[in-house]
Amino acid sequence: MTSALAERTFPPNHVLQLVQGDVTAEQADAIVNAANTHLQHGGGVAGIISRKGGPAIQRESDAWVREHGPVSHAEPAVTSGGNLPCRYVIHAVGPVWGEGDVDRKLSEAVTGSLRAAAQLGLSSIAFPAISTGIFGFPKERAAVVIITAIENYFTGKPDSTVTLVRMILYDQPTLDAFAKIWREKGWGR
């Protein structure tokens, strides 16, 4: 695991970290995939996760959609991690910028992923910056929504099995956006 550039602890023992790195290399119990509603993992983070994780991820995703229908913002799908170092991939559907009610949808995608991890009894989860790539969500605005959703989850669920959330930020502009919001919250490093 890549070391954290910033870390915040929430009572009783929940930790949020900012990390610059590659979400597909994380050895967390689960990683979050920034997915589309039909779990077709062709481009962006989803494409990278699917390629590195192998054909099992797309096969399991197709089976999930056949059984449950399109994935909603609030209720992510879960597959195995395939060849990735994580046990599970939680497929969260973030909003496309401009589709309406984007902050709520992004918050639901984050909270739904945390809820899914807790239902599986997992202790660690790694997120990319959902919706900030090909879906066009402005990075700073997404940082506010994502960080706030995680903070609210930890505050509202102090007994959650999820004790470590790592925000894995691939490029410098995304890391800078999240670090700015982190500092604005007064969390320091």
Segments making up each domain of the chain, as ranges: 14-184
pLDDT of residue 53: 95
Q: What are the tokens at 32?
A: 């979050």
Chain centroid to CA 50: 15
Residue 143: its H or E element: helix 139-156
pLDDT in tens, 55-66: 999 999 999 999
Whether the per-residue pLDDT at 188 is higher than 80: the answer is no
Q: What is the pLDDT of residues 122-174, one digit of tens each?
A: 999 999 999 999 899 999 999 999 999 999 999 999 999 999 999 999 999 99
User: Rounded to an integer, what distance in angstroms lies between the CA atom of residue 147 and that of residue 184?
Assistant: 12
Whether omega for the bond prior to residue 11 falls within 30 degrees of 0, making it cis, is no
Pick the CATH number of 14-184 from 3.30.70.260, 2.40.37.10, 3.40.220.10, 2.30.300.10: 3.40.220.10
Q: Quick check: 36 and 68 in contact, CB under 8 A?
A: no
3-state secondary structure 8-64: EEECCCEEEEEEECCHHHCCCCEEEEEECCCCCCCCHHHHHHHHHHCHHHHHHHHHH
* pLDDT at residue number 78: 97
Q: Could you tell me how far CA 80 lies from the centroid of its own chain?
A: 15
Report residue 50 as tokens.
């699917």
Cα–Cα distance measured from residue 118 to residue 185, given in angstroms and rounded to the nearest whole number? 26
Nearest residue to 28 (alpha-carbon basis) of 153, 143, 138, 166: 166
Length of the chain: 189
Amino acid 2: pLDDT? 73
The pairing of strands 88-93 and 30-35 is parallel
* Sign of the alpha-carbon dihedral angle for 71, 25, 22, 141: positive
Q: What is the pLDDT of residues 67-110, one digit of tens each?
A: 999 999 999 999 999 999 999 999 999 999 999 999 999 999 99
- CA neighbor of 174 nearest in space, from 38, 12, 44: 44
pTM recorded for the entire structure = 0.95
For residue 144, give the nearest of 109, 92, 101, 185 by alpha carbon.
Answer: 185
Q: Can you tell me whether residue 89 is helix, strand or coil?
A: strand
